[in-house]
Chains A and B, each alone.
Chain A
Amino acid sequence: MVQDDVTLSFPRGLVGFPQYTAFRLYEPEDGYPLKFLQAVGREDVSFTCIDVQAIKPDYVVPLSDEDAQGLAIQEPADALILALLAIPEDPKRMTANLAGPLVINVKTLQARQIVLNIDQFPLQYPVFSGK
């Protein structure tokens, strides 16, 4: 189980943000079930995310052998899958990026953003009408 406030290591950074490899992941007060991901040393580089399980329980990331090995993930329970959220002014229209999930090894806190096929996994999955 990932604790409330941890530092994750993204050796490759996030897609488009290769320069930031350490991120703080925390759940602020009154923020549940949202989590915040903030680049260490750069508070302005931050993201709002959520455990995909909470919004789409049937979501499965087709993790390549290279990614599974690189993250040392041996069984599904080792992995926490987070989706980055886009939250517009009307939060009912928020979307989750299911094409670029964050896969975190909860034991080692090593993490990667996985790039999936955008034809099969939506970049903008509507959280409130996705059923």
Chain B
Amino acid sequence: MLVITRKLDQSIIINGNIEVVVTGLGKEGVRLGIIAPREVEVHRREVFEAIAAANRAASAQPQGASPVIQDAAALLRARVPKAGPDKG
């Protein structure tokens, strides 16, 4: 891992087109500003990992014609009418 010391308002450039600026330093944490092309996705790591973990868990469960899935579909059909809100 590359470790660089930066002060407030200083930045680093990554790959020539991504800039990470230190915009705040305090007891609560470091505030970073990120200037990047629109197609560059930036996420807080814990959010990204939580969603990746949810995806992995969802892909590992029974699929298709399993009884659990059929029960789930039946429950949803009972709960979700094809039209109009469910007042039940």
Contacts and interface: CB of A to CB of B under 8 A. Distances in A.
B65 to A, nearest CB: 7
Contacts, number: 110
A33 B73 contact: yes
B51 A123 contact: yes
B8 interface: no
A26 B32 CA distance: 42
Given A15-B52, A34-B72, A91-B72, 18 more contacts: A15-B48, A16-B52, A33-B73, A33-B77, A34-B73, A36-B63, A38-B63, A48-B69, A54-B76, A65-B38, A66-B39, A87-B61, A87-B68, A97-B51, A97-B55, A113-B55, A124-B54, A128-B75
Interface of B: 38-39, 41, 43, 46-48, 50-59, 61-65, 68-73, 75-77, 79-80, 85
10 contacts: A15-B55, A16-B52, A28-B65, A47-B55, A54-B80, A86-B61, A89-B68, A97-B51, A118-B50, A123-B54
